[in-house]
Chains A and B, each alone.
Chain A
């Protein structure tokens, strides 16, 4: 036996790893998570911590029980935990993020084969299950109080999309996150900083966010007769920014090709527009738009196809 390693080429590998990609997503989510804690108080931090811990622990237990390789080192469970918490109001009882994470990891990810095999975004699916099971708890939002770490009242408050009169909040408030909402969705500034980081690190591409937000914006502009203010209000409210950059871009539940991603993003944008414009209920539809497109993703990939370099028209 030779003391030298024999393997097939290439003999060099990029230093990008699955764990590094997932860590990058965690880093990118941090600004918005911090903003959530600043606006909605310490409960947000506890919910984030519980959600992440429950997600990692359930994945670890699943791997133990199924005698498969332990995959918690890839940080994807941390991402799922963070995303779920950021989609919850800060007022939910502490068992909620735990149940949610267990659902997300076990029911939506691991039983389908773990990372890369989930056909829907686990955090969003868990959020939807929670929202349908405990509708009132999931729709109770705290009034934001910037910097008051403990003193946030768990008062039912309508989110801006729920507000019937566009104008309850200013666009600046919507952008900075000084509005009721889930922990991670309100501060658009922090979300955009995180998204910029993901672009710089080449973790996500422009296709899905641009197609998603672009389609929604165009539809809303057309439907409102080019009411720019109302459209911006819609773009900056609810979970659209969080969803477009961090949820719809989940690798395993979206198409892998550029063309497929654009179709996927357009689909998300159209669905969200239809939901928000036609059903003026206070529910947040962004997650449902993405979930519906998640299940279309394999079909989109098949239909949009992929042309190899040497394929010539005959």
Chain B
């Protein structure tokens, strides 16, 4: 398969291949509806939603239960029909405790009256599409959960974007949810891409898919054939191909300047799963109340499940037959970027990309001294010197670490992966960034 230019650096985690094998050729399965959902009010980038239901109230599926606050925010909808039994707090995968609404499922799946098929989609304006994305609570499904409507609204940008960069690369080892969405729902994804193109006012969309998913590339090419302006590009399978800045470079050759957003390279980046959700929102009026979650690793039957937002993680573990022996680490998200969590007692959120039960392979050896081999520098897609930043941070020289470019670190983890001395280089960059952000800005 023809591949194009790609970014410099990156790594080939050896598990990219065999980690995905367990789930990549299996159909997405609809998870059983949970008896109870715990829906977090903060599961997107920006301000948390504010709960607008009361205990005892009956809610319909798709009904707004949390209203967006401010410009960068997203509303939250009921993922089941039933009765609100508690307005409380819950702990989400990041470890934060956030307000949440608990709904007891009546198993009637009674859609809210606001959810209805939309006719005359062609007549919608760009603003209409962005407005639908906002009211349906669509957020980036790739992990950052940035409200999609904010991205789609390009009316305030001085330099109008000209390219929609669609992320289907799924470079994380183990995760295959985007892969399956592209294979099974290519038409819906392409429809979402067309809608996003219209909303952002661009005439050209480039879909980047790593070449280790030839079936997804083919399905997307078939679905996009005859559609004006959509190009499906097979990219070399190399982590972190699917990061905004690397993907933009691989697909367009443009470099996003340090500290700038993709708009500086005249690009809008959107994930394939988000495109599918956007299509459902526009065509069917469906708010974002479910998502595909890869549940894999040391579980009995690894699979991709379509899960209602708010479903307890424990329910999913039951559906895949439980954990198997030798589980040492629970990871929410991908093996490279995900959070290690202490418990299975977590609700599914909009950005819950996957669950991995990892064994001894996820336990790192003790750190030893840096041997100055330069592997971290070669692995860094941002071309930083992670070992240097690491030493500065360990010596408490945070200003030095910032001067060495720590703020440009995307925390992809490639340096730590590549380090033969097993040093926690990425963590040092995180520390430097956190300390820099906590300091008051110099005037």
Q: Would A14 and B383 be within 8 Å (CB), given that A308-B408, A310-B260 are in contact?
A: no
Cβ-neighbour of A9 out of B259, B340, B372, B422 (below 8 A): B340
Residue A157 at the chain B interface, CB threshold 8 Å: no
Which chain A residues lie closer than 8 Å to B422 at the CB level? 13, 17
Residue B132 at the chain A interface, CB threshold 8 Å: no
Which of A141-149, A213-221, A249-257, A271-279 lies at the interface? A249-257
**CB-based contact A309/B416 at 8 Å:** no
Residue of B nearest to A5 (CB): B329
**CB-based contact B374/A257 at 8 Å:** yes
Residue of B nearest to A306 (CB): B385
Q: Give the distance in Å from the alpha carbon of A49 to the alpha carbon of B430 in the complex.
A: 46
Which chain A residues lie closer than 8 Å to B374 at the CB level? 251, 256-257
Residue A133 at the chain B interface, CB threshold 8 Å: no
Residue B124 at the chain A interface, CB threshold 8 Å: no
**CB-based contact A12/B173 at 8 Å:** yes
Which chain B residues lie closer than 8 Å to A67 at the CB level? none
Which of A14, A69, A113, A307 counts the most B-chain CB atoms under 10 A from its CB?
A14
**CB-based contact A307/B383 at 8 Å:** yes
Task: Output the least CB separation between A148 and chain B (Å).
Answer: 40
**CB-based contact A10/B336 at 8 Å:** yes
Interface size on A, residues (CB 8 A): 38
Residue A116 at the chain B interface, CB threshold 8 Å: yes
**CB-based contact A308/B416 at 8 Å:** no
Q: Would A252 and B364 be within 8 Å (CB), given that A6-B342, A11-B335, A11-B340 are in contact?
A: no
Interface size on B, residues (CB 8 A): 69
Q: Would A309 and B8 be within 8 Å (CB), given that A9-B339, A11-B358, A16-B418 are in contact?
A: yes
**CB-based contact A308/B330 at 8 Å:** no
Which chain B residues lie closer than 8 Å to A6 at the CB level? 329, 340-342
Residue B362 at the chain A interface, CB threshold 8 Å: yes
**CB-based contact B417/A13 at 8 Å:** yes
**CB-based contact B336/A12 at 8 Å:** yes
Which of B28-36, B43-51, B250-258 lies at the interface? B250-258
Residue of B nearest to A6 (CB): B340
Cβ-neighbour of A11 out of B256, B259, B329 (below 8 A): B329
Which of B9-17, B267-275, B302-310 lies at the interface? B9-17
Q: Give the distance in Å from the alpha carbon of A5 to the alpha carbon of B364 in the complex.
A: 10
Residue B179 at the chain A interface, CB threshold 8 Å: no
Contacting residues of chain B (305-341) with chain A, CB-CB under 8 angstroms: 327-331, 333, 335-341
Residue of A nearest to B385 (CB): A306
Residue A66 at the chain B interface, CB threshold 8 Å: no
Residue of B nearest to A250 (CB): B372
Residue B427 at the chain A interface, CB threshold 8 Å: yes
Residue B291 at the chain A interface, CB threshold 8 Å: no
Task: Output the least CB separation between A254 and chain B (Å).
Answer: 8
**CB-based contact A115/B383 at 8 Å:** no
Which chain B residues lie closer than 8 Å to A21 at the CB level? 371, 373, 420
**CB-based contact B257/A10 at 8 Å:** no
Q: Would A10 and B337 be within 8 Å (CB), given that A308-B408, A310-B255 are in contact?
A: yes
Residue B3 at the chain A interface, CB threshold 8 Å: no
Q: Give the distance in Å from the alpha carbon of A26 to the alpha carbon of B73 in the complex.
A: 58
Cβ-neighbour of A116 out of B260, B356, B362, B369 (below 8 A): B369
Chain B: interface secondary structure?
loop
**CB-based contact A251/B372 at 8 Å:** yes
**CB-based contact B343/A2 at 8 Å:** yes
Q: Would A17 and B365 be within 8 Å (CB), given that A11-B340, A307-B383, A310-B408 are in contact?
A: yes
**CB-based contact A310/B382 at 8 Å:** yes
Q: Give the distance in Å from the alpha carbon of A69 to the alpha carbon of B368 in the complex.
A: 9
**CB-based contact A115/B371 at 8 Å:** yes
What is the 8 Å Cβ interface bit string for chain B, positions 346-365, against chain A (1 contact, 0 not)? Answer: 00000000001010011111
Residue of A nearest to B356 (CB): A11
**CB-based contact A116/B408 at 8 Å:** no
Which chain B residues lie closer than 8 Å to A312 at the CB level? 255, 257-258
Which chain B residues lie closer than 8 Å to A113 at the CB level? 369
Residue of A nearest to B7 (CB): A309
**CB-based contact B362/A11 at 8 Å:** yes
Task: Output the least CB separation between B382 and chain A (Å).
Answer: 5
Which chain A residues lie closer than 8 Å to B383 at the CB level? 306-309
**CB-based contact A18/B257 at 8 Å:** no
Residue B22 at the chain A interface, CB threshold 8 Å: no
Which chain A residues lie closer than 8 Å to B249 at the CB level? 309
Q: Would A310 and B256 be within 8 Å (CB), given that A10-B426, A16-B420, A20-B420 are in contact?
A: yes
Which chain A residues lie closer than 8 Å to B192 at the CB level? none
What is the 8 Å Cβ interface bit string for chain B, positions 160-202, against chain A (1 contact, 0 not)? Answer: 0000000000000100000000000000000000000000000
**CB-based contact A7/B258 at 8 Å:** no
Q: Give the distance in Å from the alpha carbon of A10 to the alpha carbon of B430 in the complex.
A: 12
Q: Would A9 and B342 be within 8 Å (CB), given that A20-B420, A309-B381 are in contact?
A: no
**CB-based contact B418/A4 at 8 Å:** no
Q: Give the distance in Å from the alpha carbon of A310 to the alpha carbon of B255 in the complex.
A: 6
Task: Output the least CB separation between A208 and chain B (Å).
Answer: 11
Task: Output the least CB separation between B175 and chain A (Å).
Answer: 13
**CB-based contact B11/A14 at 8 Å:** yes
Residue B77 at the chain A interface, CB threshold 8 Å: no
Cβ-neighbour of A252 out of B331, B371, B416 (below 8 A): B371
Additional pairs, 15, CB under 8 Å, beyond known A69-B368, A310-B258: A2-B343, A4-B342, A4-B343, A5-B362, A9-B411, A10-B414, A12-B13, A21-B371, A71-B369, A114-B369, A115-B371, A252-B372, A306-B384, A308-B258, A309-B9
Q: List 20 A-B contacts (CB under 8 A).
A: A2-B343, A8-B340, A9-B339, A9-B411, A9-B426, A13-B364, A14-B11, A20-B420, A71-B368, A76-B371, A113-B369, A116-B421, A251-B372, A256-B377, A257-B374, A308-B405, A310-B256, A310-B258, A310-B408, A312-B258
A-B pairs with the 4 shortest C-beta distances? A10-B413, A2-B342, A310-B258, A256-B374
Binding site for B on A (CB under 8 A): 2, 4-18, 20-21, 69, 71, 74, 76, 113-117, 251-252, 256-257, 306-312
